[in-house]
């Protein structure tokens, strides 16, 4: 536990300045985290990432991860960066032909899906930060309070396993407790630090959805760790695992948040 706490405090100390500064600083930090996350996924799938395959996959990830208003500084504002993603997908598929002995179609599909899933989740996290520091903090508060509530309630009252073959320690009671905890804590946070939102009367529904989707994101990551028979996605954060282990809930939550924002506006 001490290792986990120290690691969390160190990680927060490093990441906090980028969160506060926002804009390009935050986008840069998220890009680095995204690249390492895709590397962790490739490593679990035993894909030789430190090669041309990794270069193409990294470009695919960044083309999805960086919002258009950041990339237009380097590229023409008329150029849709998603085109780079599709081009990289084609190149990975081509490599599965000429490197079929070491790189196959399934591995190409893993990297393509990983770049899309990780890139999109972090892209929306950058956009959320650009909406304001309080908005980003709100999302993190929902996720963190869900994790704490699920752990405490599940440990005390958990009896019915949620997904026993994927995550044998998670329970239905823990999931409900985590969602309830996030609702109470997040509403308190919003009372102290109001977030500018045009549909505030629906905020409790949003909190519940973010909490549930965050927990589903955690289960999804548990599923592919179970599939590849690994304990953690990486070792960059002692006691916590890799970046994918820490941001699995955030990826799902940020996508849900942007879907909600688009529906409400």
pLDDT digits (tens, 9 = 90+) for 75-93: 656 667 788 899 999 999 9
> Domain residue spans in the chain?
1-131, 132-265
What is the pLDDT at residue 78? 65
Residue 237: pLDDT band by 50, 70, 90 thresholds?
A: low
Of residues 103 and 2, which shows the higher confidence score? Answer: 103
Is pLDDT at 160 greater than 90 in this prediction?
no
Radius of gyration over every alpha carbon of the chain, rounded to an integer in angstroms: 19
**Total residues found in the chain within this entry:** 265
Range 85-100 burial, b when 16+ CB lie within 10 A, else e: beebbebbeebbeebe
What is the pLDDT at residue 200? 63
Q: Which residues contact 33 (CB under 8 A, 6 or more apart)?
A: 122, 243, 247
pTM: 0.89
- Nearest Cα to 164, choosing from 224, 249, 223? 223
Is pLDDT at 118 greater than 80 in this prediction?
yes
Q: DSSP alpha helices (H): ranges in 132-242?
A: 133-157, 172-192, 203-228
Cβ-based burial of 156 (10 A; exposed 0-12, middle 13-18, buried ≥19): exposed
- Tens of pLDDT, residue by residue over 182-209, are 999 999 999 888 876 655 668 899 999 9
> How far is residue 119's CA from residue 121's CA, in Å, rounded to a whole number?
6
Kind plus residue range of the DSSP H or E element containing 40 = helix 23-44
> How far is residue 143's CA from residue 151's CA, in Å, rounded to a whole number?
12
What is the pLDDT at residue 79? 67
- Nearest Cα to 144, choosing from 105, 193, 194, 178? 178
- Could you identify the residue written with the tokens 């996508």? 255
What is the pLDDT at residue 4? 59
Cβ 30 vs Cβ 122: under 8 Å? yes
- Nearest Cα to 84, choosing from 61, 60, 108, 117? 60
3-state secondary structure of 163: strand
Q: Which residues contact 218 (CB under 8 A, 6 or more apart)?
A: 167, 248, 249
Residue 50: pLDDT band by 50, 70, 90 thresholds?
A: confident
- Range 132-159 average pLDDT: 90
> How far is residue 186's CA from residue 165's CA, in Å, rounded to a whole number?
31
Is pLDDT at 234 greater than 90 in this prediction?
no
Cβ 54 vs Cβ 36: under 8 Å? no
What is the pLDDT at residue 224? 85
Angle of helix 243-264 versus helix 203-228 axis, rounded to 10:
150
What is the pLDDT at residue 40? 92
């Amino acid at each position: 536990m001490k290792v986990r706490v120290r690691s969390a405090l160190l990680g927060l100390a490093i990441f906090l300045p980028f969160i506060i500064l926002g804009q390009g600083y935050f986008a840069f930090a998220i890009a680095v985290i995204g690249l390492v996350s895709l590397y962790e996924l490739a490593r679990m799938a035993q894909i030789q990432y430190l090669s041309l395959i990794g270069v193409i996959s990294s470009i695919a990830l960044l083309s999805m991860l960086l919002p258009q208003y950041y990339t237009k500084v380097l590229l023409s504002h008329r150029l849709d960066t998603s085109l780079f993603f599709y081009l990289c997908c084609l190149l990975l598929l081509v490599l599965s032909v000429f490197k079929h002995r070491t790189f196959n179609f399934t591995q190409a599909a893993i990297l393509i899906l990983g770049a899309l899933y990780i890139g999109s989740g972090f892209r929306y996290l950058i956009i959320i930060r650009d909406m304001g520091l309080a908005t980003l903090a709100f999302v993190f508060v929902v996720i963190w309070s869900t994790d704490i509530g699920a752990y405490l309630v599940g440990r005390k009252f958990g009896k019915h396993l949620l997904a026993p073959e994927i995550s044998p320690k998670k329970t239905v009671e823990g999931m409900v407790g985590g969602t309830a905890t996030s609702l109470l804590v997040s509403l308190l946070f919003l009372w102290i630090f109001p977030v500018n939102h045009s549909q505030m009367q629906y905020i409790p529904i949003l909190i519940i959805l973010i909490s549930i989707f965050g927990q589903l994101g955690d289960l999804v990551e548990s599923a592919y760790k179970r599939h590849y028979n690994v304990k953690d996605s990486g070792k960059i954060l002692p006691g916590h695992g890799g970046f994918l282990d820490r941001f699995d809930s955030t990826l799902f939550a940020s996508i849900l948040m942007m879907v909600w924002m688009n529906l409400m506006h």
